[in-house]
Amino acid sequence: MRLSRYFLPVLKENPAEAQIASHRLMLRAGMIKQSSTGIYSWLPMGFKILRKLENIVHEEQVRAGHIPMLMPTLQPADLWRESGRYEVYGHEMLRIKDRHDRDMLYGPTNEELITDIFRNHVGSYKDLPLTLYHIQWKFRDETRPRFGVMRGREFFMKDGYNFDIDRKSAMHAYNRHLVSYLRTYERMGLKALPMRADSGPIGGEDTHEFLVLADTGESEVFYDSDILDLKIGDRTVDYDDQDECAAIFNEWTTPYARTDETHDDDIFLQIPAHRRKSSRGIEVGQIFYFGTKYSESMGANVVKDTGELVPVHMGSHGIGVSRLIGAIIEASHDDRGIIWPEGVTPFHCGIVNLKQGDAETDAVCEAFYLGMKALGLEPLYDDRLERAGGKFATMDLIGLPWRITVGPRGLKNGVIELTSRRTGKSEEMLVENALERIAQTYSAYT
Ligand code: 5CA
């Protein structure tokens, strides 16, 4: 992409309404524009990252054997009356009437809709286990929408639903989700810790939230620092293997890690003092097992191999895809701007032309630009007639992990400069070598 032809409306000033870094930087980097409280337009670069995160979530869900689909944003109120949640949900639910005066609502989540699909089409143990998911916009009329996309009213969420014949099989689905979520967050360059939590309006007995540690997080969390050493890495997981998923679940849930809702000081104080930590966290996902709560109220039953008719066991699992962008920025920025992890960056490398219009400088930038594209990578070429200082400030603000700088001075010696956004270190090298270095860096992410 050539910056002269892109739409990247960066702001020079800090917007007064933004209280935390991610909100401020998303506005300044031209990623989002508020249209009304807690509702945003996703401008091209914000949208690009949203799509990248969505793809990572899809890939990891499909890898775990879960099946993608798409349900609507508007739902009939009657289904929620059946489950008993229409009244319970209160003011958070946006209620709408259609032209026939029928009660509709903008879905805050999809347990009712999916249970309705299930009960209409599945009736036998032979069709189980089954996990369906979608990634769709949700609406919750939050009391205090704030911090930009972190607590929005309209937000983008992956929500998945498992249907199993019994508790044992449903717990395998629970463990499988935990593992697939850990992989998802790691690919995004995030450390998200699973913590025992409270199930709130979704209901159920078992639930874990995934929290990214950050001072600006809305939750208070307590944990044993041993959990920070755990990593899924590039270990391949057989998602059908109940024992393997259970082992990973145990490994990650053995160290103490709880949100304030489930925190227990008596247990916490037994951890050696140097490992006992408390901090703030951003909730980027949650998994639930709620057994037969919805299947019983909505009549979603299946015939067992014994011929007995039983309510299906269910769980639901959510990832806050739009919130994740805020969480990534909270975890990865400095006073000059965002620092994208390689796995989610909107463009792989920035190109700064220090002397636009100089034939040789233009030619080298162009060669690098085409070279990157030939390697299947996406460069962002700042080809505007702007002074160097402004170009550097924009690149630092939007936070691409790598930048090359091309100018007549370096070209006298045949070199350009390659700079890492994270370390700030620069190296002079030949164009071919810079291409090779960048391609190598990204080989682990494509
Ligand atoms: N039905 C379940 C699982 S699918 C459910 O709705 N879970 S949830 O309420 O925990 O939401 C899932 C994730 O969506 C949360 O972990 C959080 O990351 C994200 N989320 C929830 N509310 C908001 C909001 N107002 N703005 C941005 N993200 C949100």
| CA–centroid distance, residue 160 to ligand 1 (Å) | 12
| CA–centroid distance, residue 19 to ligand 1 (Å) | 21
Residues 170 and 36 in one domain: yes
pLDDT in tens, 7-66: 999 999 999 999 999 999 999 999 999 999 999 999 999 999 999 999 999 999 999 999
pLDDT in tens, 221-269: 999 999 999 999 989 999 999 999 999 999 999 999 999 999 999 999 9
Per-residue confidence (pLDDT) for residue 207, from 0 to 100: 94
> Which of 144, 157, 181, 330 most suits a substitution to test ligand 1, by most atoms within 8 Å of the C-beta?
157
For residue 22, what are the contacts with CB-CB under 8 A and spacing of at least 6?
A: 147, 148, 149, 150, 216, 325, 326, 327, 329, 330, 333
Give the residue whose CA is nearest to atom 16 of ligand 1.
285
Report the SS3 class of residue 345: coil
Beta carbon of 202 within 6 Å of any ligand 1 atom = yes
For the CA of 161, the closest atom of ligand 1 is: 4
Q: Which domain holds residue 300?
A: 3-337
Per-residue confidence (pLDDT) for residue 268, from 0 to 100: 97
Residue 4 CA: distances (Å) to CA of 1, 216, 369, 385, 396: 9, 35, 14, 9, 17
Residues 302 and 400 in one domain: no
Beta carbon of 151 within 6 Å of any ligand 1 atom = yes
Beta carbon of 313 within 6 Å of any ligand 1 atom = no
Of 337, 361, 379, which one is at a domain's C-terminal end? 337
- Provide mean pLDDT across the span 436-440: 97
Residues 71 and 94 in one domain: yes
**342 lies in a domain?**
no
| CA–centroid distance, residue 157 to ligand 1 (Å) | 7
CA distance 438 to 354: 20
Whole-number average pLDDT of the chain: 96
Note the pTM of the prediction, 2 decimals.
0.97
Helix or strand (DSSP H, E) at 319: strand 313-320
For the CA of 140, the closest atom of ligand 1 is: 25
CA distance 126 to 144: 46
Q: Are residues 351 and 381 in contact, defined by beta-carbon separation less than 8 angstroms?
A: yes
pLDDT in tens, 65-104: 999 999 999 999 999 999 999 999 999 999 999 999 999 9
pLDDT in tens, 337-378: 999 999 999 999 999 999 999 999 999 999 999 999 999 999
**170 lies in a domain?**
yes
Joined together, the tokens standing for residue 298 give 């909505």
Residues 265 and 408 in one domain: no
CA distance 40 to 139: 12
